[in-house]
Chains A and B, each alone.
Chain A
Amino acid sequence: MSVAEKAPRAGARPVRARAPRFTDEHGRRIRGWELILRYVLLVVVLALTVGPFVWQLSTSLKGPTEDIFSSPPRFLPSHPTLHNYERVSETIPVWDYALNSLKVATANVVTNCVGSALAGYALARLRYRGRRVAALVFVLAMLVPAEGIIIAQFTTMRELGLNNTLVGVVLPGSIAAMNVLLMRNAFLNLPYEIEEAAYVDGANVWQRFLRIALPAVKGTLAVVAIFAFMGAWDDFLWPLIVLSDPSKFTLTIGLNYLHGTFANDERLVAAGTIIAVAPLIALFACLQRYFFRGVGEGAVKG
């Protein structure tokens, strides 16, 4: 793979001045053959990363009479039909599951945004006895791997009588320590003078929090919201453990159930997976920059 641009040779510039028009981020030209090679590689990787989704979509649109096992494979459905989507809703209550997933994801967004903004503000701006201990609690919590405590979380839920409820699905991740620390950093990066001025003008702590600090960290709050939504919508292991009643399943657990029971009906499973993934792809298409920003901020925290 061609990695970096070729060294511009002295004297070569005037000769090839009219050939390649494209430049890299440093304003240097990219040679024609290199550009072609790059696009070829990009398309190959595109086929590898997005191709499987397209194949799944294509399978879900193929009718009952169409051969989905043909060799060589047929990539496009000859008679596209939504029949499989009807069948999947007759087989499992897929729309109820989608509603459950939506409830869980929405609740997770609300609790994470409110809880981590409040706690982050307390850690960053307020002085009180035990502040360091409070910060330490969140740092320690971030180091505990979720998979390592999942059985104890399950017994905790049983003790509270919340196993097999959607509340039980939401609670353990409802205010993630990582989000608290993200919000804390966002508040710390705000200039202090504005809040000071508000204080002089007689604003109390709630007013300073709600009217001045919070509007200034909207970007980080959006990142927290998006990752809370995606995390809850996509989660698998925890809902699998805590939910046992099929009427309470979320989409991911419902899909696993569909796969376990109707594994041989590929068109049906394909339609189910498309229902589960489409909302998130739409969300991602609209709010890309927050997704990318979240990766950066999350990785720094590790």
Chain B
Amino acid sequence: MATSTVPRTRSSRPARRPQRRPAFRIRRQLPTSPWLFAAPGLVVTGAFILYPFVSTVINSFTDRRTLIPGRFVGLANFRELLHDDMFWIGLRNSALYVAGVVPALVLLPLLLALLVQKNIPGITFFRSAFYTPVVASIVVVGLIWVWLLDERGLVNSLLETVGVGKVGFLSDQWLLLLSAMTVTVWKGLGYYMIIYLAALANVPRELHEAAAVDGAGAVRRFLTVTVPAIRSTMVLVAALSSVSAFKVFSEVYLLASPNGGPAGEDTTLVMLVQRTGTGLTGRVGYASAISLVVFAVTVVLMLLVLRADRREDS
């Protein structure tokens, strides 16, 4: 096995002596050691990511259950999906989630980044504080909001104080979904804010000044200078947030109960996977078929977002 090190000379640093490419073979390196280095990572990745992926594909064509090995059933699972009301509810809710969450997570963190961009006194405190929800577990965040949005919680008590009256955030099917989206956006704000801050730091100052000299106001400059300059970052945020929004589980699980709210009407696709495929009677085959739909949609979402980016380029 060929085991010499890669000759990779970087001339970024001033070399003290003339550089030589190593034209020798490493003899002190055992022939197996590169594979020893990579082995733990390859084993874990193979056994717990790639093998489960392959077996998800295979299981989706069987009627396997948790305790019963499956038989090949062809496309029966996928045919059943088409007639399963719960599947369509899950698909609808996950799609609605993308539609509701992604625009908010592309726009709001950008505005937040603009707000904390300038180095005014105390700004590092605000930046860190705005990041706190990202650090907290989704379970903690979910339970905090369950209490805030409770019928007798803070939000309703404030609404009552100002005379609006109580709102059933956690009892109405649509309000529940909206509340869960709010929690997702609230938790994601700080994360995407940091991404935008890095992008904003790279917007050339001269562009802003040139626009200002031409008489463009703040809003105009935002639309004609800032947005075009950070568009690729906005596309990245759209891609990341749409994929994670489609796979939403915890927020809805915690706010709407494990059964997915009133009559299960708030079930999302991943909740359906969890509910169908786990436990001693779990229908592994059917849950695998739903998993493949989740996988396919996330791939399509990524491609759509990236294609939208390319079209704007031309």
Most chain A beta carbons < 10 A, residue from B154, B205, B288? B154
Task: Please choose the segment from A82-90, A216-224, A294-302 that sits at the chain B interface, where 4 or more of its residues have CB less than 8 A away.
Answer: A294-302
Does A72 reach chain B (CB closer than 8 Å)? yes
CA distance A152 to B295 in the complex (A): 13
Interface string of A216-252 (1 = CB under 8 A from B): 0000000000000010011111001100000000011
Q: Which of B126-144 contact A (CB under 8 A)?
A: 126, 128-133, 135-140, 143-144
CA distance A22 to B123 in the complex (A): 12
Cβ contact within 8 Å between B243 and A202: no
Q: A38-B115, A280-B137 are in contact. Are A137 and B5 (CB under 8 A)?
A: no
Does B158 reach chain A (CB closer than 8 Å)? yes
Residues from chain A with Cβ under 8 Å of B292 in the complex:
148
Please tell me which one of the listed residues A73, A116, A151, A155 contacts residue B158 in the complex, with CB atoms under 8 A apart. A73
Residues from chain B with Cβ under 8 Å of A123 in the complex:
38
Cβ contact within 8 Å between B222 and A3: yes
CA distance A297 to B36 in the complex (A): 27
Please tell me which one of the listed residues A4, A172, A272 contacts residue B49 in the complex, with CB atoms under 8 A apart. A172
Cβ contact within 8 Å between A171 and B136: no
Return A74 CB to nearest CB of chain B, in Å: 10
Q: A26-B205, A155-B284, A295-B195 are in contact. Are A171 and B48 (CB under 8 A)?
A: yes
Cβ contact within 8 Å between A22 and B121: yes
Cβ contact within 8 Å between A276 and B137: yes
Q: A52-B148, A141-B50, A145-B243 are in contact. Are A175 and B4 (CB under 8 A)?
A: no
Residues from chain A with Cβ under 8 Å of B132 in the complex:
49-50, 53, 281, 284
Q: Which of B1-53 contact A (CB under 8 A)?
A: 1-10, 12-13, 15, 19-20, 22, 26, 28-30, 33-38, 40-42, 44-53
CA distance A266 to B219 in the complex (A): 44
Residues from chain A with Cβ under 8 Å of B52 in the complex:
149, 152-153, 155-156
Q: Which chain A residue has the least Cβ–Cβ distance from B282?
A: A151
Interface size bracket, B side: 35 or more
Please tell me which one of the listed residues B51, B119, B143 contacts residue A25 in the complex, with CB atoms under 8 A apart. B119
CA distance A235 to B38 in the complex (A): 26
Residues from chain B with Cβ under 8 Å of A77 in the complex:
none
CA distance A195 to B295 in the complex (A): 42
Cβ contact within 8 Å between A114 and B40: yes
Please tell me which one of the listed residues B128, B131, B147, B295 contacts residue A266 in the complex, with CB atoms under 8 A apart. B147
Residues from chain B with Cβ under 8 Å of A202 in the complex:
28
CA distance A261 to B164 in the complex (A): 32
Return A195 CB to nearest CB of chain B, in Å: 8
Cβ contact within 8 Å between A122 and B53: no
Q: A22-B121, A72-B158 are in contact. Are A276 and B3 (CB under 8 A)?
A: no
Q: Which of A93-143 contact B (CB under 8 A)?
A: 111, 114-116, 118-119, 121-123, 125-129, 131, 134, 137-138, 140-141
Cβ contact within 8 Å between B129 and A46: yes
Cβ contact within 8 Å between A1 and B221: no
Cβ contact within 8 Å between B131 and A234: no
Cβ contact within 8 Å between A236 and B213: no
Residues from chain B with Cβ under 8 Å of A205 in the complex:
26, 28-30, 33
Residues from chain A with Cβ under 8 Å of B2 in the complex:
127-129
Tell me the B residues contacting A by CB distance below 8 Å: 1-10, 12-13, 15, 19-20, 22, 26, 28-30, 33-38, 40-42, 44-53, 55-56, 59, 66, 111-112, 114-121, 123, 126, 128-133, 135-140, 143-148, 150, 152, 154, 157-158, 160-161, 186, 189-191, 194-195, 198, 205, 208, 212-213, 215, 218-219, 221-222, 226, 236, 239-240, 243, 247, 249-250, 254, 258, 270, 273-274, 277-278, 282, 284, 287-288, 291-292, 294-295, 298
- 7 cross-chain pairs, A with B, having the tightest CB-CB distances, nearest first: A119-B41, A152-B52, A122-B37, A234-B137, A7-B212, A151-B277, A128-B34
Given A152-B59, A180-B41, A240-B274; 13 other pairs, CB 8 A cutoff: A55-B147, A72-B158, A119-B38, A119-B40, A149-B56, A156-B47, A174-B44, A175-B41, A193-B19, A236-B137, A236-B138, A259-B143, A259-B146
